[in-house]
């Protein structure tokens, strides 16, 4: 789903569960997105992982088995940056991008 400038998805709560190997994001509209760590690593949008202008199709994301999310930081007011156990940390996951790769049954698959 494409968002206008005024309706960008905003995370209200971000929770990392090391025990479950999962990142949870509760969005401003009440939706809960659940991201396994290896799925997030496989979905890295950086130029090295994705390529410079290649679109990333959510249905084509290949999880990086065994990679865990070590930490995250807010990147301004528009994104999250993750540090993974393989030392990868260059991907900036915008809120729009994160919401577009939610793989629950209520979120349509998109190419981003």
Q: What does CATH list as the number for 8-100?
A: 3.30.2020.30
pLDDT tens digits for range 48-89: 888 766 676 777 889 999 999 999 999 999 999 999 999 999
- The half-sphere exposure of 43 on its side-chain side, counting CA atoms within 13 A, is 25
Considering only 15-19, 53-57, 96-100, which range has the smallest mean pLDDT? Answer: 53-57
pTM, rounded to two decimals: 0.86
Domain range annotation of the chain: 8-100
HEC string of 45-100 equals CCHHHHCCCCCCEHHHCCCCCCCCEEEEEEECCCEEEEEECCCCCCCEEEHHHHHH
At 103, give phi and psi (nearest 5°): -105, 25
């Amino acid at each position: 789903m494409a968002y206008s400038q005024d309706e960008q998805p905003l995370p209200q709560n971000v929770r990392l569960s090391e025990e479950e190997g999962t990142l949870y994001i509760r969005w401003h509209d009440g939706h809960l997105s659940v991201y396994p760590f290896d799925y997030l690593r496989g979905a890295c949008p950086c130029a090295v992982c994705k390529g410079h202008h290649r679109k990333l199709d959510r249905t084509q994301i290949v999880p990086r088995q065994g990679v865990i999310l070590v930490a995250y930081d807010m990147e301004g007011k528009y994104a999250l940056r993750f540090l993974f156990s393989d030392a990868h940390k260059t991907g900036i996951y915008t809120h729009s991008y994160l919401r577009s790769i939610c793989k629950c049954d209520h979120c349509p698959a998109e190419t981003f």
